[in-house]
A = this chain, B = another copy of it.
Amino acid sequence: MLDNSLVDEYRVVLAEACGDAAVHELECPGGEALKALDKLPELFERFAEWHLTRHSIVITTGGGALSDAVGFAASVWKRGVKVIHIPTTTLAMVDAAWGGKTALNWGGMKNQIGTFELPAAVQVDARWLVTLPEREFRAGLAEAAKHAMLEPAGDLHLNSNLPQWPVQTPDSLETWTNWLVHSADTKRRIASEDLHERGRRAVLNLGHTVGHAVEALLADSRNTLLHGEAVAIGLHFALHEARNPVWKVGQNSEDVEPHAALVETWLRENVPVPPVDLPDAERMWDCMLHDKKNTAFVVQDVAWRGLGSVIWPVAWKKTSFEATWTRFVRFWDDL
Contacts and interface: CB of A to CB of B under 8 A. Distances in A.
Nearest to A102: B79
Contact of A115 (B48, B109, B115, B197): B115
Contacts of A78: 112-114, 292
Contacts of A55: 295
Contacts of A54: 292
B295 A106 contact: no
A115 B73 CA distance: 11
Interface in A21-41: 37, 40-41
Nearest to A114: B79
Nearest to A54: B292
A114 B73 CA distance: 10
Nearest to A295: B55
Interface residues of A, number: 32
A41 B38 CA distance: 10
Interface string A102-122: 010011010011111000000
B113 A76 contact: yes
B295 A53 contact: yes
Contacts of A296: 51, 53
Interface string A69-80: 000100111111
A333 interface: no
A165 interface: no
A45 interface: yes
Nearest to A198: B54
Contacts of A112: 44, 48, 77-78
A24 to B, nearest CB: 15
A261 to B, nearest CB: 37
A2 to B, nearest CB: 29
What 9 A-B pairs have minimum CB-CB distances, sorted nearest first?
A79-B114, A76-B113, A48-B107, A78-B292, A44-B106, A79-B116, A76-B115, A55-B295, A79-B115
